[in-house]
């Protein structure tokens, strides 16, 4: 048996009732076998008389006489029944005592093993959480309800710089009255993989999880959500790590995949081989899929499996996103499934009854409810003469905004459609972009709007209505320097100049732009302005400008107001943190 299987067995204290019944049945069976083996005479004889009757002598001569056994009397049957009942009661009592003793012994073994070797997954990974005296060090105050909205108004100071040997992702979350942004980095070597949480404000190391490489299992993927949970997938084992404390809050074991391996379903399309570190939208649940084994839903807080769905249409491409205002309700996009595509509403899974009372053993799969409990909405086909490309989810705020590319008579167009679980969804129609053979370099969904999109076309940023491709405003942050990253904040800011400019107003929503050279540009989107007003540049900084031979990216810690400028080259990531 592989070592990880031993860990799963040792982790669970067997329930007393099933074990006692099994042992009782074994004892009864043993008693019956002993009684049958040791008894020389049959239990019930075949004969018409009560007394032994000598058998007639054989023609061959003298010999030992044979006797025909009589029928058993009622007293004999009652005596045999009492013996059987006594044996059964004795077996049940002995089995119960053995079951209770085995349960007590298994519990003691579990406690001793945890003290000596750690939890059942301890052979696979080790965790070093944040010390209690440093738990809230450097954290910001938080009321427990409001969203994180702070962006650097004037990004002019480099807070810290550091290079990482792998990809990074950002988690923003709060605990109690404190909140912080955690930059999660994945660094791998030939012996182990290390997931490290750094404070996004000053770059200090806070916690780590080390996954050891071995024959039985190794790190498959790490999923970092916009909430507090980091999910670590090690083969078929899922660990839930609290991004604030670094503690492993729960674990579970997925079914063995028949083909391929399990991987996380993300809002953005991913290509095989799946990236080692992925980002998930803010939600209470995460979803994984394997080639032929359907989909499972995992509760992020403790990595508990709560729902499942069969793969009903063969091989599909799956994307999942959650409504921004209702993160418990999601949308699952199933594309390229045997010639059909559909969007399914994901209801909030309810934990099985046994999970509400007591967590089952880690090696046993709990009963799961169906994931796709609602009817699926088929995605309308493109018009005649057009071929559709892969679908992607742009937004899942109130309805699901889906985009694709069409090839119509040799010309490429972008097309969008809004889908929801309401009856009005059947009347939705595709909207086609007016510009053929062109697509933006970056598309970013606004935080405050349902279908308000920011698109980067070279060095130009446009705010576009997602339903009909209408352009609301256009701005060039830095001429000749292409835009590679965008971030915004769902907050209204008053202009520091304290005066009203003609046609602009003094209230605006901030937007942060990163250019390819590393320049950070702050934009102001006028609030409650009449008509389509021009957005304006409020600040520009070159403190993060440096040569980058790879790909740039932007992460915004909206708790501390820190912009993280990324440069990824050959798997290595360099981070420059910029603040006010």
Reported as a single tens digit per residue, the pLDDT across 90-114 is 777 777 777 677 666 666 665 665 5
* pLDDT above 60 (res 321): yes
Comparing CA positions, the residue from 286, 214, 207, 224 lying closest to residue 254 is 286
For position 534, what pLDDT does the model report?
Answer: 75
Comparing CA positions, the residue from 219, 148, 222 lying closest to residue 180 is 148
Mean pLDDT value of segment 16-38: 67
For position 108, what pLDDT does the model report?
Answer: 65
Beta bridge partners of 338: none
For position 182, what pLDDT does the model report?
Answer: 96
Global pTM? Answer: 0.77
For position 46, what pLDDT does the model report?
Answer: 45
* pLDDT above 70 (res 253): yes
Q: Enumerate residues 6+ apart whose C-beta is below 8 A from 308.
A: 294, 295, 296, 297, 368, 369, 370, 371
Residue with more model confidence, 282 or 575: 575
Q: In this structure, how many other beta carbons lie within 10 angstroms of the beta carbon of residue 163?
A: 10
Comparing CA positions, the residue from 317, 324, 323, 322 lying closest to residue 379 is 317
Contact 8, 253 (CB under 8 A): yes
* pLDDT above 80 (res 161): yes
What order of strands is seen across the sheet that includes strand 304-309? 263-264, 285-289, 295-299, 304-309, 369-370
> How does DSSP assign 399-452, residue by residue?
SEEEEEEEEETTEEEEEEEEE-SSGGGGG---EE-SSSS---SEEEE-SS-SSE
Kindly report the backbone phi and psi dihedral angles of residue 249, in degrees, each rounded to the nearest multiple of 5, phi listed first.
-90, -10
Cα–Cα distance, 330 to 346 (Å, whole number)? 5
Residue 314 confidence class, pLDDT cut points 50, 70, 90: low
Mean pLDDT value of segment 385-405: 83
Highest mean pLDDT of the ranges 222-236, 289-303, 344-358: 222-236
Distances (CA, A) of 266 to 237, 287, 289, 407, 493: 19, 8, 11, 26, 32
Residue 193 confidence class, pLDDT cut points 50, 70, 90: very high
For position 41, what pLDDT does the model report?
Answer: 57
Q: Enumerate residues 6+ apart whose C-beta is below 8 A from 211.
A: 124, 125, 192, 193, 194, 195, 218, 219, 232, 234
**Which range has the worst mean pLDDT, 211-225, 447-461, 558-572?**
447-461
34-37: which pairs have CB atoms within 8 A and are 24 or more residues apart? 35/83, 35/87
Residue with more model confidence, 37 or 224: 224
Cα–Cα distance, 85 to 102 (Å, whole number)? 25
483-512 confidence digits (pLDDT tens): 999 998 877 777 655 444 444 457 888 999
Would you state the structure tokens that stand for residue 326, as one six-digit string?
């209702």
Residue with more model confidence, 529 or 329: 329
* pLDDT above 60 (res 13): no
Q: What is the dihedral of CA 287, 288, 293, 295, to 10 degrees?
A: 10
Mean pLDDT value of segment 246-257: 86
Q: What is the dihedral of CA 498, 500, 501, 506, to 10 degrees?
A: 80
* pLDDT above 60 (res 472): yes
Cα–Cα distance, 526 to 524 (Å, whole number)? 6
Mean pLDDT computed over every residue of the chain: 79
Residue 324 confidence class, pLDDT cut points 50, 70, 90: low
Cα–Cα distance, 361 to 346 (Å, whole number)? 27
**Which range has the worst mean pLDDT, 50-59, 333-342, 363-372, 557-566?**
50-59
Comparing CA positions, the residue from 278, 5, 242 lying closest to residue 127 is 242
* pLDDT above 90 (res 435): no
* pLDDT above 90 (res 259): no
Mean pLDDT value of segment 275-284: 89
Cα–Cα distance, 150 to 69 (Å, whole number)? 97
Distances (CA, A) of 160 to 39, 72, 562: 87, 95, 10
Contact 23, 95 (CB under 8 A): yes
Residue with more model confidence, 67 or 437: 437
262-277 confidence digits (pLDDT tens): 999 998 888 888 999 9
For position 5, what pLDDT does the model report?
Answer: 47
Q: Enumerate residues 6+ apart whose C-beta is below 8 A from 150.
A: 489, 491, 558, 559, 560, 561
Alpha-helical segments (H) within 287-372: 353-357
Please tell me whether the peptide bond between 273 and the residue prior to it is cis, using omega within 30 degrees of 0: yes
Would you state the structure tokens that stand for residue 454, as one six-digit string?
């920011």
């Amino acid at each position: 048996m592989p070592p990880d299987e031993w860990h799963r067995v040792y982790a669970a204290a067997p329930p007393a009732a099933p074990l006692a019944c099994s042992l009782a049945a074994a004892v009864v069976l043993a008693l019956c076998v002993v009684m049958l083996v040791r008894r020389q005479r049959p239990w019930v004889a075949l004969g018409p008389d009560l007394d032994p009757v000598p058998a007639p002598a054989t023609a061959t001569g003298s010999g030992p006489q044979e006797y025909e056994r009589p029928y058993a009397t009622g007293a004999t049957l009652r005596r045999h029944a009492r013996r059987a009942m006594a044996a059964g009661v004795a077996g049940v009592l002995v089995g119960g005592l053995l079951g209770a003793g085995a349960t007590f012994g298994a519990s003691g073994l579990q406690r001793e093993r945890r003290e000596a070797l750690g939890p059942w997954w301890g052979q696979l990974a080790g965790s070093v959480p944040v010390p209690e005296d440093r738990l809230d060090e450097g954290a910001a105050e938080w009321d427990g309800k409001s969203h994180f909205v702070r962006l650097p108004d004037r990004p002019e100071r480099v807070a810290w710089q550091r290079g990482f040997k792998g990809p990074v992702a950002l988690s923003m979350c709060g605990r109690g009255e404190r909140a912080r942004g955690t930059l999660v980095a994945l660094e791998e070597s030939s012996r182990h993989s290390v997931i490290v949480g750094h404070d996004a404000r000053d770059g200090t190391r806070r916690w780590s999880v080390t996954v050891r490489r071995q024959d039985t299992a190794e790190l498959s993927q790490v999923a970092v959500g916009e909430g507090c949970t980091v999910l670590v997938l090690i083969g078929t084992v899922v660990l839930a790590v609290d991004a604030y404390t670094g503690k492993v809050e729960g674990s579970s074991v997925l079914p063995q995949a028949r083909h391929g391996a399990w991987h996380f379903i993300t809002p953005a399309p991913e290509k095989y081989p799946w990236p080692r570190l992925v980002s998930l939208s803010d939600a209470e649940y995460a979803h994984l899929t394997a080639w032929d084994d359907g989909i499972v839903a995992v509760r992020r807080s403790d990595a508990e499996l709560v729902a499942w769905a069969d793969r009903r249409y063969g091989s599909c491409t799956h994307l999942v996103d959650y409504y921004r205002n209702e993160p418990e309700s999601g949308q699952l996009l199933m594309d390229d499934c045997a010639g059909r595509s559909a969007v399914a509403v994901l209801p909030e899974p309810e934990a099985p009854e046994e999970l509400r009372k007591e967590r089952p053993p880690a090696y046993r799969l709990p009963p799961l409810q169906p994931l796709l409990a609602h009817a699926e909405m088929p995605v309308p086909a493109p018009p005649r003469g057009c071929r559709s490309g892969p679908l992607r989810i742009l937004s899942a705020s109130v309805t699901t905004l889906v985009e694709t590319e069409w090839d119509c008579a040799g010309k490429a167009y972008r097309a969008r459609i809004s889908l929801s679980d309401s009856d009005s969804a059947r009347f939705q129609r595709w909207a086609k972009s007016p510009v053929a053979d062109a697509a933006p370099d970056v598309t970013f969904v606004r935080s405050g709007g349902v279908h308000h999109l920011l698109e980067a076309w070279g060095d130009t940023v446009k705010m576009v209505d997602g339903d009909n491709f209408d352009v609301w405003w256009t701005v060039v942050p830095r001429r000749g320097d292409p835009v590679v990253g965008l971030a915004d904040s769902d907050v209204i800011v008053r202009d520091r100049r304290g005066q009203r400019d003609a046609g602009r107003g003094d209230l605006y929503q901030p937007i942060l732009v990163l250019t390819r050279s590393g320049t950070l540009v702050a934009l102001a989107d006028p609030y409650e302005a009449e008509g389509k007003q021009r957005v304006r540049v409020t600040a520009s900084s070159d403190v993060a400008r440096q040569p980058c031979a790879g790909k740039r990216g932007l992460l915004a810690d909206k708790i501390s107001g820190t912009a993280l400028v990324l440069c990824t080259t050959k798997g290595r990531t360099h981070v420059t943190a910029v603040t006010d």
